[in-house]
Chain A
Amino acid sequence: CPSPMESTMAEERRPKQCTVVLPTESMKAMAESIGVGQLQEESCAALSEEVSYRIKEIAQDALKFMHHGKRRKLTTSDIDHALKLKNVEPLYGFQSQEFIPFRFASGGGRELHFYEEKEVDLSDIINTPLPRVPLDVSLKAHWLSIEGVQPAIPENPPPAPKEQQKAESTEPLKVVKPGQEEEGSIQKGQGAISAEAKGKKEGLMRMKPRSTHELSVEQQLYYKEITEACVGSCEAKRAEALQSIATDPGLYQMLPRFSTFISEGVRVNVVQNNLALLIYLMRMVKALMDNPTLYLEKYLHELIPAVVTCIVSKQLCLRPDVDNHWALRDFAARLMAQSCKTFSTTTNNIQSRITKTFTKSWLDEKTQWTTRYGCIAGLSELGPDVIKTLILPRLTVEGARIKAVSEGPVVSNIDKIGADHVQSLLLKHCASVIAKTRPLPDNMEQYRADYGYLGPTLCSHVVKARAQAALQAQQVNRTTLTITQPRPTLTVSQSGIGGSGGSRSPSIIKVPSSLTLMSTRPGTPTQPSPPATKYIVMATSAGASSTQQVLDGSLVITLSSSSGSSVTSTVASATSTLQPLVKLESRGAGGLGGSRPLQKYIVVSLPTSASSSLESKSGMLPPSSSSTSPISLEAGMKMDRSDSPGASTQSPH
C-alpha cells in the first residue's frame, strides 16, 4: 500500500527500487517450461529486466483498483483487472487454499517449482456436505454520535483504546503527542479530558489524568450481574459471565471495581478458607487478563497480592488433607507468570520482585509445606531459566527435607501429603529442564551425587522423558497419522517465492493465533491439567522402508508446549511475523536423487505425558534443530496435505 513515507525511509528504499529484478534463473525455467531449451545468459538478463518492469507496471495499475475498491489489501482480482487494462488475458480463476501453491523438487543438481495437480475423486466431492451458504448483505444502522457524543454501545469502539490505557498508566505525565491529541479530541465532546488537555497545551500544570469512575445505571446493573454470576453457584452462568469479562470491549470504566472486588474477595475468603470462591476469583482475574481491550497495569497493586496469596497462603481450604488446593496454587502460579510476562518492565520490576518474594519464603526453614509448594510452583512457572538457576541448586536441600518427612518418624498426615506434592512438583518441572540441558548418559549414581535424595527418582523421570520422545518418534514412523487433538490448526505449506534467491525451498509452518492463545492460556483448576499440546513435524521418506534411514532423515521439532513460557513465547513471536518457522532438511538427499523421492509431512499433536521424552529427544539433535532455527530441506518432497489437520480445517477467507 503506497502511503506517504518519511523521506528518510524513502531514501533508504529508493536505491533498492532501481535494482529489484527477477533472477535470470527464473527466466531459464520459464523458457524451459514452454520448450525453449538453451537460453543465452544475455537474453535472460534482458528478459528478466523487461519482465520485472512489466510486473511493476501491472502492480501499479492493480493498486488503482484496490483504492477504488476501498480496500487496503491487494487481491488477485485487482491484478486481473489491471491485466485487462493492458489487453492481456487475465489469470481467471486463480485461487489457492494455500499461501503459496508451488511445490519444489530437485534432483541431479536441478531445482524445480511446480504446481501440484492432484487427482480428485469426484465421489469425494459429491459426498462432502455442502458448505454453509454465506449470509446475504444486510444493512444495520446505529448511532455513531448523538449530538457530538459517541454513545457507549457495542457497535461503537470502546471509549478508551488499549494503547491509551497503557499510555495513561505508564507515562501519565507525558505531553500529548499529535497522534494522541486526536484521541483527546474524541473525548472532547464528552468533556472528560478536554480541560486536562487544554491545561497541558498551555503548559500551566501537569496533572495526572483524572478518569471518571462513575458508572451508568446500566453499567452498575452489569457489574452486579457479572459479579454475582462469577461467585454464584450456577456453573453455566459463571461461564457466561467469565466469557463476557474476557471479551467485552467496554469494561474499561468498571475495571477499578472489578479489581477491588477481587482483592477484597480474596482477603475475606482466605481467612474463611473458602477454596471454591478463591478459585472463582482467580478465574475472574484470568478472564480480565484475557480481555484484549483492557490494560491491567494500573490495577496490579491490587491483583498481584491477591494472586500471590492464592499461591503461597498456608491454608486455602477447610480440609487441607482432602481438598485439592494444589490445583488452585498451580493455576494462580500460571496467572502470576503470565502477568510477569505481560507487565514486567524495567521500572516496575515485577518479575524480579516476585522471584525474590518466592525465594525468600522458600528458603525459610519454618515455611509450611503448602507455602513451600506455592513458592516452587510460582518459580517454576516463570520458565526454565528460573528453574535452572534457582530450583536445581536447591534440589539437594529440598530432597533432604522431603526425606526427613517421608522416611523419618511419622509426623502429621498433612505434612506427608505436602512433601509428596512438593516432590512430584519438583520432579515434573526439573525433569524436563534436566532432560534438555544435561548430557547423556543418565547415571543413577551420578544423579544421586548431584541431586541427593531426589536423584534416583529424578533420573528415572529423565530417562522416561527421553525414552518417551524416542518412542514417539518411532510411533510417528507409521504412515498413518494419529491426531489426538484436532482442534488447533497447523498448516504446512511450502513457499517457492519467499526466498529471494528462489533456489532454497523454505517450508512455512503457519501457526494460527488460536494455537498460541490456547497454549498460553493456563488451564482452569476445575480441569486441573489440560492436556498440553505438542506438535511434531516430521519429514519422513515414504519410499524408504528401513527404520534407520527414516530416523536419519527425520527431525522432531517441538513447536509449542502448554505452559512453558519461553517456548510459547518464541512461537508467538514467530507467528506474528509469519516468517518461515521451521525448515526441514533431510540428510543424504543425494542418494535419493534417482527415484522420485516422496517425503511426507506428518503433523502430530501429543498429550503432555510425552513432553519430557520429547524434549529429551530433541536434546540429541544437532544444535541447528532447535525450534527457532531454520533448517532447509533439500530433498524432493510431497506434502500430504489431506492428512494434515491444518489444510483441511483452515478455510480461505
Chain B
Amino acid sequence: MAAVQDGQLNLEVEKDIKTEITNDGSGNINASSSSPGSTSSGGKSKSPAGSGEDQQTLLAVLQFLKRNKLTESVDILRREAGLSADADDSPVSESAGAGSGGVPSVGADGGDANSLLSRVSIATPVAPPATAPPKVVAASGGEDQPDVNVVLSAYSQQGDPVLYPLYYNGLKKFIESVLDCHRAELSQVFYPLFVHMYLELVYNNHENEAKQFFEKFSGDQECYYEEDLRILSSMSKKEHMKGNETMLDFRTSKFVLRISRDSYQLLKRHLQERQNNQIWNIIQEHLYIDIFDGMPRSKSQIDAMSGSLAGEGKRDANKAKVFYGLLKEPEIEVPLDDEDEEAENEEGKPKKKKPKKDSMGSKSKKQDPNAPQQTRIPLPELKDSDKLDKIMNMKEATKKIRLGPDNLPSICFYSFLNAYQGLTAVDFTDDSSLIAGGFADSTVRVWSVTPKKLRRVKSAADLSNIDKESDDVLERIMDEKTASESKILYGHSGPVYGISFSPDRNYLLSSSEDGTVRLWSLQTFTCLVGYKGHNYPVWDTQFSPYGYYFISGGHDRVARLWATDHYQPLRMFAGHLADITCTRFHPNSNYVATGSADRTIRLWDVLTGNCVRILTGHKGPIHSLAFSPNGKFMASGATDGRVLLWDVGHGLMVGELKGHTDTIYALKFSRDGEILASGSMDNTVKLWDTLKAFDDVELDDFTAATGHIHLPENSQELLLGTYMTKSTPVIHLHFTRRNLLLAAGAYNP
C-alpha cells in the first residue's frame, strides 16, 4: 500500500525500533563480517597505512558518539570495529567511512526482499555515526575536534618548504620531456599533487611559501578545476583547514587517477631515481593510481572523464552488475470499453485483443535478461485505480506520435507569470493533468491544467452523512465548494527546491531548505508527513516510478531512501563528497542515481545500499538527470552547460552534447527514447537525436573493459532544434503520454 495510513502507524513503528535495536544489532555485525565482499565497491585499500588511519578515524567517531551520549551506537560500533579488525585485515573502506562500506545496510545482502523492510529500523540509528564522519566533522565547525586533527595529521610530515616549488618544477620538466603518448596521462598528476603540496604548506604554517607556490603553479592547472582552486586560494591558514569541506574531501578520499602501466613505470622510475620522496609520499598516501594494461589514453579521452572533485571513478567501482532492464508489466485484463466497442463493432473483439497484447507483450512476454528479479525490491500491489490508469496509459500510448529527426515534437510552454516569489521547482503528473510548483517563499502550489478542477474531500462530519454504498461515492465525497483551478500548500519554512508527484496522483512530495521532505495529500490538500532527517537543505526528491518509495538528497551529502509509511529512511546512500543536487529513480525502481556538486554521478543499488556506478566527466555541479525509458541509458546536465550520455550497464560515457550556454535544469527522454529534450537557464529548449547518439557509439570488448571511449567529435549534428523563449529559463520538461513536450519556467522580465 503506497500510502501513509494515519499517524498511529508511525507510533507503532517507533516502538518497533526501540525493541529492534538490540536484537538486530548483532545480526548486523554477523552480516557485515561474513561478507566482506559486499564492500567491494569501496575498493581495496593498498596502503598499509590505511588501516591505521581507519583505526584513528573510528576512534574519533567513537569519541564523537560518546560526547553526544549515543551509547548504544558506541557499543555497536565498537563491537563491529573490533570484530572486523580481528577477522580480516582488510578494513571496511579506505575512504574513512565515506565509501559505501560504512553503510551498515550492506548487511542486507541476502537478496531477501522482505529483509529490506524489516531492516528499516536498524539501518537508521546506526547509520548516522557510521556514514557521516566527513559531514559531522564539517558541520560542527572549528571547535575542538580530535577527529579533524587526526585527519589533518597526515600533513605534519614536512620537507623544506623552499624546495616545494623545485620539486614540482622538476616533475613538471620531467613530464614535459616524456614521450607524447605518456605526457597526457602523467599530466593528470599535476592537479592533485599541486593541491596536496599546497595544503601541506598551509598546514605547516608556511603561509607565504604557500601563496607563492599557488601563484606560481595555479595557472598550469586545467581550467575546469578553477572553482576548487578558488576555494583553495582562500585557504591560507591552518585554522581555515578545520571545517573546510573541500579540504576534508581531499584529505579523506584519495584522488583517483587512471594511468597505463607504462606511464606509471616511467613516473615511478623518475621519482625513485631522483629520490624525490616528497612527491612520492604524496602519491602514495593521497593518490589512488588505477593502473591498467594497454595503450595510454589520449588527452581528449582523459579530459572527457576528468573534472570531478576526487578524480575519476575507479574501474573496480563500476564493475558490479547492474540490472538495468525493465520489470515485467503486470498482466492486466483489459476490460472492453463501450466506446471502443462501438467503433469496432463485431469484429473488434478478436482484433483488439491482439494489438493490446502485442503492445504489452514486447516487454512482458519474456523476461529481459538484464532485468532484475521481479521481487528483488518489494513493490506495492496495484490497486484498482492503478490498473485503470495503466489502461488509460495504454490507450493513450496507441495514439502516441512516433518521434524522430523528421518528426519533432510540439512544445507547449507553461510560463509562470508574476512569480516574484521565485519559482524553484516544477513537476507534472505522468498523465499531464496537474502541475505543481515549489516557490522560494516556502509555498507549494498545485494547478489543474485540465477543465477538471481541484476539489477537497469533505470534512469528517459531512463524510459520515454519505451513503457509502452508492455507486458514485468517490464523487460524493468531494466538496464541490472547494473547487478551484489551483491550491496552495503551506507548511515549509524555507524555499522548496524539489517536488514530485506520486504516480497515482494522490500524493505530492516536496523538499525544502528547512531540511524536511513533506508528503501532501492531493485529496485533502493537507500535509500528511514531514520526513525529518536531513537537517540541512534538501535539494531534490523524487517518487519511485512504482510509488511508495522515494529518494531525497541534499546538502548533507547523503541520499536517503524512504518509504511513505516509515518516518525514518530505509537506506542511506553515503559517498558523495559534496551536496547531492539531484536524485532520480531508475525506471525499474531497483536503482537510484544521484548527481552531486562534487561533479560525479553515482548509481546506488536500492536493495544492498551499495554504490554500483561512479560516473565522472562533468566539470560543474550536476543539476539534472534522466533515465531513458528502456533503463539502459542515462543523461545528465550540469552547470557547465553540457549534457553527457551514459550507458548504465557498462558504466561508460557514450556521448557529449554541447550547445547550452548555462546550467541545464531539465532533461527528459521522449516516451520511446528517440529524443532527448534539454532545458536550460539560457532560456532555450534543445532537442537531441539520441537514437543516433547511441547508435554511433561503437562498444567493442576493449572499450567496455577499459572504459576508454572515443566520443564523436561533433555533437552539433545530433542537435535537432533549438527553441528560445523570450525570457524564461526552462526548469522542467515533461513528455505527455502522446509525446507532446511540456516545458515550464518562470517568466523573468
Instruction: Flag if A2 contacts B424 (CB, 8 Å).
Output: no
A10 with B226: CB separation less than 8 A: yes
B233 touches A18 (CB 8 A): yes
- On chain B, the residues within 8 Å of A77 by CB distance are 440, 495
A15 and B230 CA atoms in complex are apart in Å by 10
Contact with A157, one of B226, B237, B447, B725 (Cβ below 8 angstroms):
B725
Q: Known contacts being A67-B623, A144-B743, A147-B407, is A14 close to B233, with CB within 8 Å? A: yes
Give min CB distance, B746 to chain A, whole Å: 8
* Chain B residues whose CB sits within 8 angstroms of the CB of A134 once the complex forms: 418, 420
A-B contact count (CB 8 A): 181
Q: Are B234 and A139 closer than 8 Å at their CB atoms?
A: no
Does B266 interact with chain A (Cβ within 8 Å)? Answer: no
Q: Which of B214, B240, B720 contacts A18 (CB 8 A)?
A: B214
A146 vs chain B, min Cβ distance (A)? 5
Residues of A within 8 A of B579 (CB): 64
A366–B731 CA distance with the chains assembled, in angstroms: 69
B409–chain A nearest beta-carbon distance, Å:
8
Judged by a CB distance under 8 angstroms, whether A49 is at the interface is yes
Inter-chain contact B234/A10, CB cutoff 8 Å? no
Which of A65, A86, A188 has the most chain B CB atoms inside 10 A of its CB? Answer: A65
Knowing that A14-B215, A186-B721 touch, tell me 5 more A-B residue pairs with CB under 8 angstroms. A2-B639, A4-B641, A69-B495, A185-B716, A186-B722
Residues of A within 8 A of B665 (CB): 70
With a CB–CB cut-off of 8 A, which chain B residues contact A141? Answer: 412-415, 449
Query: With A139-B435, A142-B413, A143-B413 in contact, do A68 and B726 touch (Cβ < 8 Å)?
Result: no
Tell me, yes or no, whether A623 is within 8 Å of chain B by CB: no
Which of B410, B659, B663, B681 makes the CB contact (< 8 A) with A182?
Answer: B659
Q: Is the CB of A157 within 8 A of B726?
A: yes
Cβ contact within 8 Å between A68 and B497: yes
Most chain A beta-carbon contacts within 10 A, residue among B215, B234, B417 = B234
Q: At the interface, yes or no: B325 with Cβ under 8 Å from chain A?
A: no
- The answer for the CA separation of A70 and B235 in the assembled complex, in Å, is 28
* Contacting residue for A139 out of B416, B440, B641, B726, CB 8 A: B416
Question: Ordered nearest first, which 3 A-B pairs have the shortest CB separation?
Answer: A148-B408, A144-B411, A145-B411
Is A189 a contact of B408 with CB atoms below 8 Å?
Answer: yes
Chain B contact residues: helix, strand, loop or mixed:
mixed
Interface residue? A126 (CB, 8 A): no
Q: From A11, A18, A70, A85, give the contact of B729 (CB < 8 A).
A: A70
Q: List 14 A-B contacts (CB under 8 A).
A: A7-B223, A17-B233, A64-B597, A136-B418, A137-B416, A137-B445, A139-B414, A143-B410, A144-B412, A145-B411, A145-B741, A147-B410, A148-B720, A182-B722
Contacts of A188 in B (CB 8 A): 721
Task: Determine whether B724 belongs to the interface, using a CB cutoff of 8 Å to chain A.
Answer: yes
User: Which of B244, B414, B621 is close to A140, meaning CB atoms less than 8 Å apart?
Assistant: B414
Interchain nearest-CB distance for B310 vs A (Å): 18
Which positions 596-625 of chain B face chain A at CB distance < 8 Å? 597, 619-621, 623
Stretch in A53-61, A345-353, A415-423 touching the partner? A53-61
The size bracket of the interface on B is 35 or more
Closest to B581 in A: A68
A595 within 8 A of B: no
Contact of A185 among B211, B408, B719 (CB under 8 A): B719
Q: Knowing A4-B620, A134-B420, say if A10 contacts B415 (CB, 8 Å).
A: no
Point out the residues of chain B lying under 8 angstroms from A145, CB to CB: 408-411, 685, 721, 723, 741
Partner of B537, one of A70, A85, A143: A85
A57 to B231, CA, bound (A): 8
Chain B min CB distance to A550 (Å): 44
Specify the chain A residue showing the minimal Cβ separation from B619: A4
A71 interface residue per 8 A CB criterion: yes
Scan B221-264; emit 1 where CB is below 8 A from any A CB, else 0.
00110110111011111011000100000000000000000000
Partner among B226, B236, B408 whose Cβ is within 8 Å of the Cβ of A53: B236
Binary contact track B475-492/A, C-beta < 8 Å → 1, others 0: 000000000001000000
Interface check A150, CB cutoff 8 A? yes
A234 within 8 A of B: no
Cα A85 to Cα B514 in complex, Å, equals: 10
Chain B residues lying within 8 Å of A11, measured Cβ to Cβ, are 218-219
Tell yes or no: B265 within 8 A of A by CB. Answer: no
Residues of A within 8 A of B412 (CB): 141-144
Q: Which of B380-419 contact A (CB under 8 A)?
A: 407-419
Task: Tell yes or no: A135 within 8 A of B by CB.
Answer: yes
**For the complex, what is the distance from the CA of A147 to the CA of B404, rounded to whole Å?**
11
Enumerate chain A residues within 8 angstroms of B495, measured Cβ to Cβ. Answer: 65, 68-69, 77, 81
Q: Given A4-B620, A53-B236, A147-B408: A69 and B422 within 8 A (CB)?
A: yes
B504 contacts chain A at the CB level, 8 A cutoff: no
Q: Are A137 and B597 in contact (CB under 8 A)?
A: no
Q: Is B209 an interface residue (CB 8 A)?
A: no
- 0/1 per residue, B419-438, Cβ < 8 Å to A? 11111100000000001010
Do residues B722 and A67 form an inter-chain contact, with CB atoms below 8 A?
no
Query: In the complex, what's the smallest C-beta–C-beta distance from A155 to chain B, in angstroms?
Result: 7
Residue-wise interface mask of A (120-139) relative to B, using a CB-CB cutoff of 8 A (1 in contact, 0 not):
00000000000000111111
Mark B residues whose CB is within 8 Å of A.
141, 211, 214-215, 218-219, 223-224, 226-227, 229-231, 233-237, 239-240, 244, 407-424, 435, 437, 439-440, 445, 447, 449, 486, 494-495, 497, 513, 536-537, 539, 555, 579, 581, 597, 619-621, 623, 639-641, 659, 662-663, 665, 681, 685, 716, 719-726, 729, 731, 741, 743, 746
Taking the complex as formed, is A6 at the interface, i.e. its CB lies under 8 A from any CB of chain B? Answer: yes
Contacts of B141 in A (CB 8 A): 86-87
The reply to whether A156 and B621 form a contact with Cβ atoms under 8 Å apart is no
- Taking the nearest CB of chain B, how far is it from the CB of A632, in angstroms? 32
Given A14-B218, A69-B424, A156-B726, A5 and B414 touching (CB < 8 A)?
A: no
Contact across chains for B230 and A70 when beta carbons are under 8 A apart: no
Report the nearest B residue to A20, measured CB to CB: B234
A156 to B747, CA, bound (A): 12
- A181: CB under 8 A from chain B? yes
> Which B residues are CB-close (under 8 A) to A81?
494-495, 513, 537
Residues of chain B lying within 8 A (CB to CB) of residue A10: 219, 223, 226
- In the complex, whether A118 has a CB less than 8 A from a CB of chain B is no
Complex Cα gap A5–B445 (Å): 37
Complex CA–CA separation, A52 to B729 (angstroms) = 33
Is A210 engaged at the interface, CB distance under 8 Å to the other chain?
Answer: no
B229 surroundings in chain A (CB, below 8 A): 14
Please tell me if the beta carbons of A138 and B417 are within 8 angstroms of each other in the complex: yes
**Cβ–Cβ < 8 Å partners of B424 in chain A:** 68-70
Contact of B685 among A7, A69, A144 (CB under 8 A): A144
Q: In the bound complex, what is the Cα–Cα distance between A11 and B229 (angstroms)?
A: 11
Within 8 Å CB of B726, what residues of A? 155-157
A139: B residues at CB distance < 8 A: 414-417, 435, 447, 449, 486
From A50, A67, A135, give the contact of B639 (CB < 8 A).
A67
Q: Is the CB of A4 within 8 A of B640?
A: yes
Whole-angstrom CA separation of A57 from B663 in the bound complex: 22
Contact B621–A67 (Cβ < 8 Å):
yes
Residue of A nearest to B418 (CB): A135
For A70, list chain B residues within 8 Å (CB). Answer: 422-424, 665, 681, 729, 731, 746
Does A177 have its Cβ within 8 Å of any Cβ on chain B? no
Tell me the bound Cα distance from A15 to B231 in angstroms.
13
CB of A110 within 8 Å of the partner chain: no
Q: Which residues of A contact B230 (CB under 8 A)?
A: 2, 17
CB distance from B212 to the nearest CB of A (A): 9
Q: In the assembled complex, how far is the CB of residue B513 from the closest CB belonging to chain A, in whole angstroms?
A: 6
Contact B226 A4 (CB under 8 A): yes
Q: Are A53 and B240 in contact (CB under 8 A)?
A: yes
Residue of chain A at shortest CB distance from B235 = A53
Known contacts A18-B215, A148-B408, A155-B726, A60 near B223 by CB under 8 Å: no
CB 8 Å contact bits of A151-195 with B (1 = contact, 0 = none): 000011100000000000000000000000110011011000000
Assuming the contacts A14-B229, A144-B743, A148-B408, asked whether A53 and B219 have C-beta atoms less than 8 A apart, the reply is: no
Q: Is A72 an interface residue (CB 8 A)?
A: yes
Closest to B660 in A: A182
